[in-house]
Structure 1
């Protein structure tokens, strides 16, 4: 592989990963603005996050078949453009219901980009470099998720929520242009699985207790992460903190901890096993959630780092468990895991709103701690026996 070709692949894949994640949770720092603009409850405003994550959860299990049918690069470019168009249309939304519908539409196109990017990384790099390519893509995802929130928050501070969606849509179009211009077309023929065969494998995966427990843990992990990072915005926008949308957006810099953790988490999983790793990570995340109840921003910010730390390592451990526990149709198992994972994100953006409405931020944190405790109990009991080719204890 020539240096020029490698550089084009790296830049193109980074732009794809960045653009794929840019809009998913970009509404979080502007939720208080949306709540005031439409005169709705926190949970109703948070539907702008729930709708997108729910759409991703619905489509994720079958997204891989799309890139197999249309090719990796065309799928990525089309998906990024089709995510950008509803974002631009959001600037014209006359009410919250239409805004939520457009956000749902965005989520329908994101999984195709996720699946195509991961497949491209595994097919177009030499075997010895595929791990680095995947890490590069996931890192671009994390940066895209962070900057999506920053772009939305800062744009809303300069103008209002309309400008936030306009800026996000334009940046997504720019990412699509970079991918179209720089990412080389696939040279490897994808290893395809008939669509009907992949669908037929899903009930068998759901009947596997070990896999079902991992899917449930994935649901719980993103439920807690999104629950904390959605409702902490309402908490910090209110007195005594009174943070603006731009201020809130920078709090999501805690997500960048994932960039540092990714290279380390694999070593921990290999050394401790997924079971021990995820139990320790859930404990760390729970500690962070508890510390986020402190009355000082100087404590809350590091607490959010700890919540992210635990969630990212949990995600890595659960993904590794799925990959090693599925004895057949691993892509179908991975798709199901992503479906459960993003369903957890959709639920985490909405359900804690009821606890927040009744008990405020402490009620939201209490619900998160209950879900994390339930996930830990499930891992402790269901993951005790070793999965194929892996010692869990």
Structure 2
């Protein structure tokens, strides 16, 4: 009989089972997390190319990073309400498609101003993917598996942030900065298609956005000294990290290293430390508490910052690893501190934290550039270290009063 000794003939069933609902859900969540973070800081390895191509300063070239982070900061507090109103799956799909289109258009930008505008447009869609995916993970998985689902998502965020930088740097090495954005845009399109084909419909119907209530709670959170101090810590966390990871590219593109965009992109391997730390940092924070954990983590970041002043490339790479180690523990501990100290409206408090956090990233990409232009790399490292010392000071003094403070979730 034809096909009896070989593979199955056309029309015959195969023995390979289709993907289960759980597998489709997990794949879609991971690809969403990967695609959402792919572009946020992807231009960092090609910033020296952008500076030279458009004849602008390092600070102006870095505005291509600032623009996206600024848009995320502005939209972040309201992204959850959009997900509540329109449903998780539609918002995720629109967000991924909304990131892909301006990414492709970036490849055809004929001025630094146009590139900055398109990068800002990317950032308008990224928070919606964040909020909808995290809500989807908390609703569609059984209660005993939701922590695992959230870990999948955050891990894919970190990997996406790393791969985005590598794609940008390697593509630019074989072509130029236009090629970097073309490849990144194509990767975004693939992510959107995969999620569209695999993400099951949400069982959670669209709900009242309660946007007015969330906005009304924000002034009260900003007037709470404990929460405001945590928002400032969040600002400093990403400000310091983005400062280092933005201007180290300009620093190492110069002699004696003279690294190209491809080599620079591999420095971001240190970013993958966050994946390993996801399981470890939670235990550390549970044992020590957010206050002590933040102080220790920021101290580790200070040591990393001092390593960045060295000349040997391996010492600089070690410094970046230590900086990532400190940053991810600080971020995890501060997020937990906000949740524990928000007396009401935790979702609104989380939205404000997101705005401060990415606002710090936006300013960290551009403000130190003026110092870098005048005084060089040492000034950028000094600014980064000031932010880390501010974190330690706030945790040591302001957060002491938070110990034992009751929290009520609403």
Range of TM-score over shorter length: over 0.9
Tell me, yes or no, if structure 1 residue 388 matches structure 2 residue 398.
no
The alignment partner of 2:41 has SS state of coil
Tell me, yes or no, if structure 1 residue 55 matches structure 2 residue 71.
yes
Q: 1:275 matched to which residue of 2?
A: 291
The alignment partner of 1:289 has SS state of helix
Q: Supply the distance in 2 between the matched residues of 1:189 and 1:279 (Cα, whole angstroms).
A: 42
Tell me, yes or no, if structure 1 residue 15 matches structure 2 residue 31.
yes
Tell me, yes or no, if structure 1 residue 336 matches structure 2 residue 352.
yes
- Say which of 173, 178, 199 aligns to 1:183: 199
Count of residue correspondences: 389
Tell me, yes or no, if structure 1 residue 144 matches structure 2 residue 160.
yes
Identify unmatched segments of 5+ residues in structure 2: 1-17
Q: Supply the distance in 2 between the matched residues of 1:156 and 1:212 (Cα, whole angstroms).
A: 41
Taking only aligned residues, the RMSD between alpha carbons, in angstroms, comes to 1.3
Tell me, yes or no, if structure 1 residue 379 matches structure 2 residue 395.
yes
Q: Supply the distance in 2 between the matched residues of 1:304 and 1:169 (Cα, whole angstroms).
A: 27
| Deviation readout 1:297-317 (Å, 9 max, x if unpaired) | 011111100000000000000
Runs of 4+ with >2 A deviation? 188-193, 387-390
Tell me, yes or no, if structure 1 residue 83 matches structure 2 residue 99.
yes
The alignment partner of 2:20 has SS state of helix
Q: 2:22 matched to which residue of 1?
A: 6
Q: 1:173 matched to which residue of 2?
A: 189
Q: Supply the distance in 1 between the matched residues of 2:19 and 2:263 (Cα, whole angstroms).
A: 41
TM-score, structure 2 as length reference: 0.93
Q: Supply the distance in 1 between the matched residues of 2:375 and 2:157 (Cα, whole angstroms).
A: 34
Tell me, yes or no, if structure 1 residue 249 matches structure 2 residue 270.
no
Tell me, yes or no, if structure 1 residue 35 matches structure 2 residue 58.
no
| Deviation readout 1:192-213 (Å, 9 max, x if unpaired) | 5511111111111111111100
Q: Supply the distance in 2 between the matched residues of 1:18 and 1:45 (Cα, whole angstroms).
A: 25
Describe how 1:301-340 pairs up with structure 2 within 5 A. Answer: 301-340=317-356
Instruction: Note if contact 2:82-2:209 (Cα within 8 Å) is conserved in structure 1.
Output: no
Q: Supply the distance in 1 between the matched residues of 2:337 and 2:105 (Cα, whole angstroms).
A: 40
Instruction: Note if contact 1:324-1:387 (Cα within 8 Å) is conserved in structure 2.
Output: no
Q: Cα offset for 1:376?
A: 1.2
The alignment partner of 2:201 has SS state of coil
Q: 2:253 matched to which residue of 1?
A: 237
Q: Cα offset for 1:70?
A: 1.1
Tell me, yes or no, if structure 1 residue 359 matches structure 2 residue 375.
yes
Q: Supply the distance in 1 between the matched residues of 2:76 and 2:107 (Cα, whole angstroms).
A: 27
Q: 1:300 matched to which residue of 2?
A: 316
Q: Supply the distance in 2 between the matched residues of 1:389 and 1:312 (Cα, whole angstroms).
A: 26
Q: Cα offset for 1:191?
A: 6.4
Tell me, yes or no, if structure 1 residue 156 matches structure 2 residue 172.
yes
Instruction: Note if contact 2:294-2:329 (Cα within 8 Å) is conserved in structure 1.
Output: yes
Q: Supply the distance in 2 between the matched residues of 1:310 and 1:319 (Cα, whole angstroms).
A: 14
| Deviation readout 1:97-136 (Å, 9 max, x if unpaired) | 0100110011011100000011011111111111111111
The alignment partner of 2:380 has SS state of helix
Identify unmatched segments of 5+ residues in structure 1: none
